[in-house]
């Protein structure tokens, strides 16, 4: 590799990583809470050079056996999962410093654990059948032979609300022999370069096929240079950023958008019982406050079914107390001026409703910028949602939930559930086609399996190309 994230003494921590032969960048340095970051000055020429060299490195990766590639990917994840991993420590420190989210609130472990070595192999085997088609033409039942390969180069535009959201896509692309160029988020300046360097140490062909280049989002000249070499663009981010990229993607480049989404929770009447609900409430609060409530798997609203031993209004008071304790373990970050203003305004209206006998219950210290829990029998969760706020609303029956989900216009894509298995199965069946792609127990929402179809489909279904031969 041309550049290494750990620069020589006297230099900074490099936020970029280029394959051998790429153009030499001009660099600048900046301080970030005690970390000295070395950043390239992005130009269209530099972007084009890095992208071309990554695409040219594909032949070496294609020549590797699938077992070899999957082993290297698994070993890289295992290295980061190891206690005391220096690269993971640096990545967590830099994410916390850049995003303002405390390390305790944005742990990397829950996001890495689903990608343990055996899980990567199982995922790829489940998605690519036969698995041998990644190595060459392989027979399928019926006599035909098939070959599977990904695009010539994938550009991954990462978002900074949650760290490592780009990891499953990166692993999938490399498994399908697609080189990757990652644009790191401002809030996660070191994570992609550090992980790419870990991959490079594990397998020389990966060193030629994984690059990291920061640039300012919306720099159309740099993005045009990158897209001219790409076969696919996977974009994480807000609506405006995703729409801007979508307008400029060449027609021959596959475009995969991962725009903003959110999660919700459902608690059936059977789980609204003393001694049972407290455990659910603790897991629910952790799901809501992990990653500062910024992620697409962060529940904003929980539906509490009437008719349990605890009625929703009683359960709400339990939840308020539980949220307070969990918030001490998962402290708040920095919401930003606009989000803080939205939160103050929303919580102010709720306080007024609670004093006017509307049945509203609000638990929030101070201005509510550390955490808040709101229960209102009439008002739906507002948009935009207030910062670090879990909103609870009662429902007569959980059969009402699918209509409430569909009213969110496909934005709600994950659901945590507490209740009997038959009722979970019935709810899942009624939610099919609604945009909900994951239903999990409370406490497991923020650590989904690799096979979770984020966005409704897997990277393999979206990017893998197949060739079929007939006799």
* Torsion of Cα atoms, 47 then 52 then 54 then 59, to 10°: 170
Q: How far is CA 331 from the centre of its chain?
A: 20
Hey, what domains does the chain have and what are their CATH numbers?
13-260+455-469 (3.40.605.10), 262-436 (3.40.309.10)
d(CA 99, CA 235) in angstroms, rounded, equals 19
Residue 357: what pLDDT? 82
Residue 3: what pLDDT? 43
Exposure string over 106-125, b if 16+ CB within 10 A, otherwise e: bbbebbbebbebebbbebbe
d(CA 167, CA 192) in angstroms, rounded, equals 9
Residue 211: what pLDDT? 98
* Cross-strand bridge partners of residue 56: none
d(CA 220, CA 411) in angstroms, rounded, equals 28
Sheet holding 210-212, edge to edge: 210-212, 180-183, 154-157, 232-236, 254-258
Q: For residue 266, what are the contacts with CB-CB under 8 A and spacing of at least 6?
A: 302, 303, 305, 398, 401, 415, 416, 417, 418, 419, 427
> Whose structure tokens read 């000249």?
221
Residue 72: what pLDDT? 97
- Secondary structure in 3-state letters for the chain: CCCCCECCCCCCEECCECCCCCCCCCEEEEEECCEEEEEECCCHHHHHHHHHHHHHCHHHHHHCCHHHHHHHHHHHHHHHHCCCCHHHHHHHHHHHHHHCCCCCCCCCHHHHHHHCHHHHHHHHHHHCCCHHHHCCCEECCCCCEEEEECCCCEEEECCCCCCCCCHHHHHHHHHCCCCEEEECCCCCCCHHHHHHHHHHHHCHHHHCCEEECCCCCCCHHHHHHHHCCCCEEEEECCHHHHHHHHHHCCCCCEEEEECCCEEEEEECHHHCCCCCHHHHHHHHHHHHHHHHHCCCCCEEEEEEECCCCCCHHHHHHHHHHHHHHHHHHCCCCCCCHHHHHHHHHHHHHHHHHHHCCCCCEEECCCCCCCCEEEECCCCCCCCCCCCCEEEEEEECCHHHHHHHHHCCCCCEEEEEEECCHHHHHHHHHHHCCCCCCEEEECCCCCCCCCCCCHHHCCHHHHHCEEEEECC
**Count of CB atoms situated within 10 Å of the CB of 10:** 6
d(CA 137, CA 116) in angstroms, rounded, equals 28
Residue 326: what pLDDT? 97
Residue 8: what pLDDT? 44
Distances (CA, A) of 251 to 47, 228, 255, 457, 458: 20, 11, 9, 21, 21
Token couple for 125: 């085997």
d(CA 208, CA 57) in angstroms, rounded, equals 5
What does the pLDDT profile of the chain (471 residues) look like in tens digits?
544 455 545 568 999 999 999 999 999 999 999 999 999 999 999 999 999 999 999 999 999 999 999 999 999 999 999 999 999 999 999 999 999 999 999 999 999 999 998 999 999 999 999 999 999 999 988 779 999 999 999 999 999 899 999 999 999 999 999 999 999 999 999 999 999 999 999 999 999 999 999 999 999 999 999 999 999 999 998 888 899 999 999 999 999 999 888 999 999 999 999 999 999 999 999 999 999 999 999 999 999 999 999 999 999 999 999 999 999 999 999 998 999 999 999 999 999 999 888 899 999 998 889 999 999 999 888 888 899 999 999 999 999 999 988 887 778 889 999 999 999 999 999 998 888 999 999 999 999 999 999 888 999 999 999 999 987
Chain segment 178-237, per-residue pLDDT in tens: 999 999 999 999 999 999 999 999 999 999 999 999 999 999 999 999 999 999 999 998
């Amino acid at each position: 590799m041309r550049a290494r994230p750990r620069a020589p003494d006297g230099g900074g921590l490099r936020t970029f990583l280029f394959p051998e032969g790429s153009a030499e960048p001009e660099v600048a340095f900046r301080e970030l809470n005690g970390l000295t970051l070395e950043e390239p000055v992005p130009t269209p020429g530099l972007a084009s050079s890095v992208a071309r060299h990554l695409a040219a490195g594909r032949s070496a990766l294609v020549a590797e056996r699938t077992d070899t590639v999957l082993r290297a990917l698994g070993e890289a994840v295992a290295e980061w999962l190891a206690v005391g991993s220096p690269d993971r420590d640096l990545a967590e420190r830099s994410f916390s410093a850049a995003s303002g989210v405390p390390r305790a609130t944005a742990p990397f472990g829950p996001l890495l654990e689903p990608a343990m070595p055996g899980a990567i192999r199982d995922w790829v085997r489940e998605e690519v059948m036969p698995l041998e088609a990644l190595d060459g033409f392989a027979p399928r039942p019926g006599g035909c032979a098939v070959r599977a390969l990904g695009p010539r180069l994938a550009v991954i535009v990462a978002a900074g609300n949650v760290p490592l959201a780009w990891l499953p896509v990166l692993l999938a692309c490399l498994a399908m022999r697609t080189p990757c160029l990652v644009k790191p988020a401002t809030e996660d300046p070191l994570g992609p370069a550090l992980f790419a360097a870990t991959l490079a140490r594990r397998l020389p062909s990966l060193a030629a096929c994984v690059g990291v280049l920061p640039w300012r989002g919306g720099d159309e000249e740099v993005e045009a240079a990158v897209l001219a070499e790409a076969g696919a663009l996977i974009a994480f981010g807000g609506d405006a950023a995703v729409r801007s990229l979508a307008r400029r993607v060449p027609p021959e480049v596959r475009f995969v958008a991962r725009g903003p989404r959110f999660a919700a929770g459902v608690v059936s009447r059977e789980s609204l019982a003393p001694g049972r609900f407290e455990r659910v409430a603790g897991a629910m609060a952790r799901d809501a406050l992990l990653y500062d409530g910024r992620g697409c798997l962060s529940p904003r609203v929980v539906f509490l079914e009437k008719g349990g031993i605890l009625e929703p209004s009683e359960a709400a008071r339990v939840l308020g107390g539980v949220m307070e304790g969990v918030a001490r373990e998962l402290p708040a970050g920095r919401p930003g001026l606009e989000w803080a203003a939205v939160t103050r305004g929303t919580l102010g209206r709720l306080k007024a409703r609670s004093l006017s006998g509307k049945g509203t219950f609000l638990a929030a210290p101070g201005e509510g910028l550390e955490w808040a829990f709101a229960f209102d029998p009439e008002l739906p969760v507002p948009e935009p949602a207030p910062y670090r706020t879990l909103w609870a609303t009662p429902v007569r029956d959980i059969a009402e939930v699918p209509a409430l989900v569909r009213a969110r216009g496909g934005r709600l894509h994950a659901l945590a559930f507490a209740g009997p298995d038959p009722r979970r199965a019935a709810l899942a069946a009624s939610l099919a086609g609604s945009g909900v792609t994951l239903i999990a127990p409370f406490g497991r929402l923020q650590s989904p399996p690799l096979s979770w179809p984020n966005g409704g489909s897997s990277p393999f279904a979206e990017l893998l190309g197949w060739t079929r031969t007939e006799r």
